[in-house]
């Protein structure tokens, strides 16, 4: 199994997608998007650095290996490098990786409702 994400301000929605991805197979590799990629795609740096995010994700029982995702366009290469049979993503990415179906199975899992890093940042800002 392989999955990708920023996993900034790690929350239960992140945990659930990782645990569900792991339950679909016997080994889970996670690509954690790098700080540079986030700055380029989202115009801001994550709250937690790439090193911290990698450390948190690597510590999860469900995760066997982590690496830095340098570019969103390299999914095919990563799938092949890690010999993944299945690419798993939350359904906010529904349809986005269907072109990889020639090299792996692509599964979109329902997102955990009502929780997001952005909402958490807003909630924390509002209480300080
Ligand atoms: N997720 C979820 N439920 C939430 C929030 C997130 O299931 N309430 C899932 C997302 O669908 C994704 C994973 O958690 O599969 C990581 O989410 P993000 O950290 O927001 O990752 P994102 O920035 O979308 O990924 O190649 C993808 C990139 O790495 C960016």
Nearest CA to ligand 1 atom 16: 5
CA 91 to ligand 1 center in whole angstroms: 9
CB-based contacts of 51: which residues, under 8 Å, 6+ apart? none
Q: For a substitution probing ligand 1, which of 18, 79, 90 has the most ligand atoms within 8 Å of its CB?
A: 90
Residues 62-115 pLDDT 10s: 999 999 999 999 999 999 999 999 999 999 999 999 999 999 999 999 999 999
CA 126 to ligand 1 center in whole angstroms: 23
Residues 3-26 pLDDT 10s: 999 999 999 999 999 999 999 999
What SS3 state is found at 77?
Answer: helix
Nearest CA to ligand 1 atom 5: 13
What does DSSP assign to residue 112?
Answer: P
Residue 43 buriedness (CB in 10 A; 0-12 / 13-18 / 19+):
exposed
CA 6 to ligand 1 center in whole angstroms: 7
């Amino acid at each position: 199994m392989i999955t990708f994400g920023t996993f900034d301000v790690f929350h239960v929605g992140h945990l659930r997608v990782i645990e569900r991805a792991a339950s679909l197979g016997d080994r889970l590799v996670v690509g954690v998007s790098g700080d540079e990629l986030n700055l380029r795609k989202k115009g801001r740096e994550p709250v937690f650095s790439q090193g911290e995010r990698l450390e948190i994700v690597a510590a999860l029982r469900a995760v066997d290996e982590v690496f830095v995702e340098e570019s969103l366009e390299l999914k095919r290469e990563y799938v092949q490098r890690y010999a993944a049979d299945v690419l798993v993503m939350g359904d906010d990415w529904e349809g986005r990786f269907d072109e990889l179906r020639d090299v792996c199975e692509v599964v979109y899992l329902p997102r955990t409702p009502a929780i997001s890093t952005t909402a958490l940042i807003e909630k924390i800002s509002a209480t300080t």
